[in-house]
A and B are shown apart, each in its own frame.
Chain A
């Protein structure tokens, strides 16, 4: 079985979303949900269910650092589709479709959302474009029927749901699927020598224009810091008389 893991380079969420941080200045990392997808693919290969894992990202040469991190984690091959434009999820899904048609994996495993724009769309769109089944927000994957199907546990608003999808399928990962492994420095050094296959949208025969334009971004108005109360009595009094919420 071959697994394709698309991943996105994003500003480190712990830096960019922290007070004083910004999307522009934070260092880049593999989107944490995609890192979980890479880890899961490695575990599937380690238990003998996958023969090859292909990591794939879209971006300019500077995202090669995250491609190396994926190679250091253990993906067998890494592809970067060279495109420096700001792409929306639908453009990304159309580029991924072309890559999937070329690579012909049995499973596409990717994060449920990228933490920079929090869209939570690309996996579902890719599945729709391919007319493949999808299992989203997955916290457990098990291959059954001689790997003809995957039994997936999904984290939904109502609780856990189990579905089975025929392969090939798109599976998107939730937080509790696994804890990604730590990448060692020697592993990272070794990954520097591995090749990165650079392709272009032209070579893939895909011509997409993003349909989403971000006009402005701004910081939301902060909630004003409230007051400290000294006791339970004071808190209850405030909630009753000032906030009128009890």
Chain B
């Protein structure tokens, strides 16, 4: 079995991360055949669920030694499968999972890597890639040399893949766990169970900034509006740094990049580092008491005023339908 591109799929042990499937669309744009790689433990069913995406094969690396996403082990598995398939591209969707593993796999493959690819363009002189640099203040068009390459793509820049009629077979990879690196140990993960949708996949996101002052106010206003609209919660770096919200809520250059239908920014001034994470949102609403806040130059709809009065009114108006 060979394939031109290998797509690394991300999951949370219960289900596949939908954003990670957007890399399949990028694989189709690159052209040629592609395979999917699923790594973990007890994922037979999950592998089957990936069977209708048009892949040549779904490769399942399933072993107790791979139960947790340790970069040294996962990178070896990904690089080995690339070699086995004679693939030229290793691909994933940008996330802390892929940013941990893919560059390490690139080094094992003696290949360059591009992070956060936004567009793939085929030209007479080969393929060029567009990616944001400097907090998204500039877009760079880049070409890669060498026999192989590794890419992580922005989920918001590539659509979710449409189903393909043909069923892909699952191929179980032989894992010799004694040959895997053994220098890293998983200890624990703090995962908050939430009824709210995933921040990077939500249709509606409510973001909060430092003016929300304390955690109770943040939860009441940002959380209240999010629950009214069935949305997810995000925050600025300043709000995270002051303890108003946990770090995995951070949106921006060094946090998450979102592209919901509706983003409502509460008490967010609009620093470029935050805007880098929200500018692909379809509709942006800004509510801020400072009429000169830069966020108003980016927002589709701006409302100047006090959050403490406006947000409860807004929740009430939305609840009334």
Binding partners A and B: yes
Binding site for B on A (CB under 8 A): 11, 13, 16-19, 21, 23, 88-90, 93, 112-113, 115-129, 131-137, 139, 151, 154-166, 169, 174-176, 210-220, 223, 225-233, 235-236, 238-239, 243, 245-246
Contact at B188–A229, with CB atoms within 8 Å? no
**A118-B142 contact, Cβ under 8 Å, with A133-B181, A228-B303:** no
What would be 17 A-B contacts, judged by CB atoms less than 8 Å apart? A13-B135, A116-B133, A118-B253, A124-B71, A124-B107, A128-B105, A156-B189, A159-B191, A159-B192, A165-B183, A211-B145, A217-B138, A217-B141, A219-B138, A228-B296, A228-B303, A232-B317
Q: For window 230-261 of chain B, which residues contact chain A by CB distance below 8 Å?
A: 237, 240-241, 246-248, 253-254, 256, 261
Beta-carbon contact of B134 and A218 below 8 Å:
no
Are the C-beta atoms of A156 and B248 separated by less than 8 Å? yes
* Neighbouring A residues of B303 by C-beta, 8 Å: 228-232, 235
Kindly list chain B residues whose C-beta atoms are within 8 Å of the C-beta of A233: 317
| Cβ of B235 to closest chain A Cβ, rounded Å | 13
Judge whether B115 and A166 touch: CB under 8 Å. Answer: no
Give B residues with C-beta under 8 Å from A: 12, 70-72, 75, 95-97, 99-108, 111-116, 128, 132-146, 181, 183-192, 200, 204, 229, 237, 240-241, 246-248, 253-254, 256, 261-262, 272-273, 279, 282-285, 294, 296-304, 310, 313-314, 317-318
> How long is the Cα–Cα vector from A128 to B104 in the complex, in angstroms?
5
Chain A contacts for B144, CB-based, 8 A? 211-213
Q: Return chain B residues, CB-CB under 8 Å to A123.
A: 103
Closest to B248 in A: A159
| CB <8 Å contact, A226 and B140 | no
Judge whether B279 and A89 touch: CB under 8 Å: no
Residue of B nearest to A91 (CB): B112
Contacting residues, chain B, for A231 (C-beta < 8 A): 303
Which chain A residues lie closer than 8 Å to B296 at the CB level?
225, 228
Residues on A with C-beta less than 8 A from B188 are 161-162
A155 contacts which of B247, B282, B300 (Cβ < 8 Å)? B247
How far is B130's CA from A216's CA once the two chains are assembled, in angstroms?
9
Q: B247 near A219 (CB under 8 angstroms)?
A: no
Chain A residues with CB below 8 A from B248, complex form: 155-160
- Which A residues are CB-close (under 8 A) to B229? 246
Question: Which of the listed residues A115, A118, A214 has the most CB atoms from chain B within 10 Å of its own CB?
Answer: A118
Residue in chain A with minimal CB distance to B99:
A120
A118, B12: Cβ atoms under 8 Å? Answer: no
B134, A232: Cβ atoms closer than 8 Å: no
Residue of A nearest to B132 (CB): A118
Q: A160 to B187, alpha carbons, bound, how many Å?
A: 11
A239 and B283 within 8 A (CB): yes
User: Quick check: A212 and B190 within 8 Å, CB to CB?
Assistant: no
A127 B261 Cβ-Cβ under 8 A: no
Determine which of A19, A116, A155, A243 lies in contact with B134 in the assembled complex, contact meaning CB atoms within 8 Å: A116
Task: Given A120-B115, A160-B189, decide whether A213 and B285 contact each other with a Cβ distance below 8 A.
Answer: no
Do B184 and A23 have beta carbons less than 8 Å apart? no
Q: Which of A125, A128, A212, A226 contacts B299 (CB 8 A)?
A: A226
Known A-B contacts A134-B72, A211-B112; A219 and B137 likewise in contact (beta carbons under 8 Å): yes
Given the interface pairs A128-B104, A156-B97, A163-B70, the reply to whether A243 lies near B283 with Cβ below 8 Å is yes
18 additional A-B residue pairs with CB within 8 Å, beyond A220-B139, A243-B301: A93-B107, A124-B99, A125-B113, A127-B71, A139-B247, A155-B248, A156-B248, A159-B191, A160-B190, A163-B185, A164-B187, A169-B183, A175-B254, A214-B140, A214-B141, A217-B140, A219-B139, A239-B283
Complex Cα–Cα for A191 and B204 (A): 51
Query: Known interface pairs A158-B189, A163-B184, A225-B296. Does A124 touch B100 (Cβ–Cβ under 8 Å)?
Result: yes
A163 CB to nearest chain B CB (Å): 6
